């Protein structure tokens, strides 16, 4: 009698543990699947032909023309910004450069992490940088093992 009781209790316990583990695994698996699929999505799925809040119109020839709206919103503070035809900016890179130059917000362009990471930063050519050792601690007699000189030849910023 005791052995059948033990077998039933063991089976109930085993079934209860399996049900609890299963109930915990379902939400965890669902969360992992959702996170994996969200990483693969590209945001913005569709990029506008014109910067945010600009109007698009068609010419008689059928070309699309982007121009600032009547309130001049999203012009980067530039009130004299010129309209452009969409064929003038064929790639995302040219759109990004145009938006950056004019201080515009363009969803899918100015917040595109791939375009931002490709942006080339101009080297610092200020007078302090060009004078080199004059502004470093090494010229005062102090020797640092972590701080390097600002000599342009050391940094090789011009790619020579």
Give Cα 115 to chain centroid, integer Å: 8
Are 66 and 98 within one domain?
yes
Residue 48 lies in a domain: no
Are 104 and 92 within one domain?
yes
pLDDT tens figures, 91-136: 888 999 899 888 888 988 888 877 877 776 666 566 655 555 555 5
Nearest 5°: the CA angle 89, 94, 98 is: 90
* Helix%, strand%, coil% for the chain, nearest 5: 50, 10, 45
Are 96 and 129 within one domain?
no
What SS3 class is residue 58? strand
Tell if the pTM clears 0.85, that is, is over it. Answer: no
Are 8 and 35 within one domain?
yes
């Amino acid at each position: 009698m005791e052995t059948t009781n033990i077998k039933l209790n063991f089976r109930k316990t085993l079934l209860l543990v399996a049900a609890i583990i299963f109930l915990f695994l379902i939400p965890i698996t669902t969360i992992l699947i959702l996170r994996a699929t969200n990483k693969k999505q590209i945001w913005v799925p569709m990029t506008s032909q014109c910067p945010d809040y600009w109007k698009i119109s068609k010419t008689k020839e059928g070309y699309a023309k982007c121009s600032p709206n009547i309130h001049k919103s999203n012009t980067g503070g530039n009130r004299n910004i010129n309209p452009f035809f969409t064929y003038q900016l064929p790639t995302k890179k040219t759109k990004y450069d145009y938006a950056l130059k004019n201080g515009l917000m363009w969803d899918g362009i100015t917040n595109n992490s791939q375009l931002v990471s490709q942006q080339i930063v101009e080297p610092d050519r200020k007078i302090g940088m060009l004078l080199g050792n004059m502004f470093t601690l090494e010229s005062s007699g102090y020797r640092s093992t972590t701080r390097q000189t600002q000599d342009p030849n050391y940094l090789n910023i011009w790619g020579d």
